[in-house]
Amino acid sequence: MRIDQALAFAQAELAGTETPAIDSRALLCHCLKKPVSYLYTWPERELSEAQLSQFNTLVAKRKEGTPVAYLRGHQEFWSMDFSVSEATLIPRPETELLVEKVLELNQRADAAICDLGTGTGAIAIALASELPKAHITGVDRVPEAVELAKSNAALNHVKNVTFKQSDWFSAIPNCIFDIIVSNPPYVESASEYLLQGDVRFEPASALTSGKDGLDDIRNILSTAAHHLNNNGMLLIEHGYNQGPAVAKEFETHGFTDIITFYDVNTLDRVTTGRWYTC
């Protein structure tokens, strides 16, 4: 089968999914180990039997709903490449707002920064790459996620980041930071969103957080102050409809200078607040 025929086949198989053409190209590039431009330059090239077999298998799995990132084993974030696994969430473009806001609001080149629930390590590694003098710590309660984050740091040649297994702050009780950042679970446990698209295949423990989706955010807010320097900053990603509720939780727990930022779709996505000890 030729490249153009393989793409046509895959798009027909994936018709009705959200992005059949994009997914078809991504999977074929993965099988061929070539960039997208190769598909357009050499549409008449024949796939080997091994390539065609692999492609057919991946298309079938994508048709069943398996995320492309899991099928390829990697995902781009902050113009960097990250290995992914079913033990972690897939890094999403919306989460880049967390990185942007830390870089915008940070006042120290050598800041001590903690990424809670680091998953693939994407946030921590992106920050470490942009702030080479900073000291970044990423924690996750899942051992497989910690090992994946470590390998992603090596993959992206980032050295000023350390990853530890910890249920939020449990394993780092005495650590103090200038900035704490987190993309915690924030989906309501009964949300219909959990039955849609890629999230059906992602770990539920990394998605859901109680009836209103705010259990983990409240947990973080109740303990974060003990781990922040004076004028320290906390930034949390949350759902598009949770901005007012999260801002109220920040206020309830004693944070000030509270701001909620919009994502690229002008939806509430990140709320930040500062902690003053005096």
**Residues 100 and 168 placed together within one structural domain of the fold:** yes
What is the domain count for the chain? 2
Distance CA 91, CA 77 (A): 6
Q: What is the mean pLDDT of residues 215-239?
A: 96
In percent, the amount of the chain with pLDDT more than 70 equals 99
pLDDT surpassing 90 at residue 210: no
pLDDT the model gives residue 77: 97
126 and 263 fall within a common domain: yes
For the chain, give the percent of residues with pLDDT over 90: 87
Query: Is 69 within the bounds of a domain?
Result: no
pLDDT band of residue 61 (cuts 50, 70, 90) is very high
What value does the mean pLDDT take over residues 135-164? 97
Average pLDDT over residues 179-190: 91
Residue 91 sits in the same domain as residue 42: no
The reply to whether 102 falls in a domain is yes
CATH number at residue 54: 1.10.8.10
236 and 136 fall within a common domain: yes
Residue 80, domain member (yes or no) = no
Q: What is the pTM of this model?
A: 0.91
Q: Does residue 232 lie within any of the structural domains?
A: yes
Domain end among 16, 33, 64: 64
Domain with 125, as residue range(s), is 85-275
Is the domain of 215 the same as that of 147?
A: yes
The most confident of the ranges 83-92, 142-151, 189-198 is 142-151
Average pLDDT over residues 146-167: 97
Q: Which CATH number do you get for residue 153?
A: 3.40.50.150
Is 153 a domain residue? yes
Position 220 pLDDT exceeds 70: yes
pLDDT of residue 278: 66
pLDDT reading at 222 higher than 90 = yes
The DSSP secondary structure of 165-206, one letter per residue, reads E-STTTT-TT--EEEEEE----B-TT-GGGGSGGGGGS-GGG
Count other Cβ atoms within 10 Å, centred on residue 42: 14
Residues 96 and 50 in one domain: no
CA atoms of 37 and 225, how far apart (whole Å): 49
Q: Say whether both 35 and 100 belong to one domain.
A: no
Q: How far apart are CA 24 and CA 106, in angstroms?
A: 40
**Residue 76, domain member (yes or no):** no
Same structural domain for residues 24 and 107?
no
Residue 196: pLDDT band (50, 70, 90) is: confident
Q: What is the pLDDT of residue 192?
A: 78
In a domain, 32, yes or no: yes
Lowest mean pLDDT among 99-113, 178-192, 199-213, 236-250: 199-213
Mean pLDDT of the chain: 94
Does the structure show a pLDDT above 80 at 15?
A: yes
31, 140: one domain: no
- Asked whether residue 35 falls in the same domain as residue 169, the answer is no
**Pair 23, 133 in one domain:** no
- Does a structural domain hold residue 78? no
The pairing of strands 112-116 and 177-182 is: parallel
Residues 24-30 have a mean pLDDT of 97
- The reply to whether 39 and 121 lie within a common domain is no
CB 179 within 8 A of CB 102: yes
Q: CA-to-CA distance for 249 and 230, rounded, in angstroms? A: 19
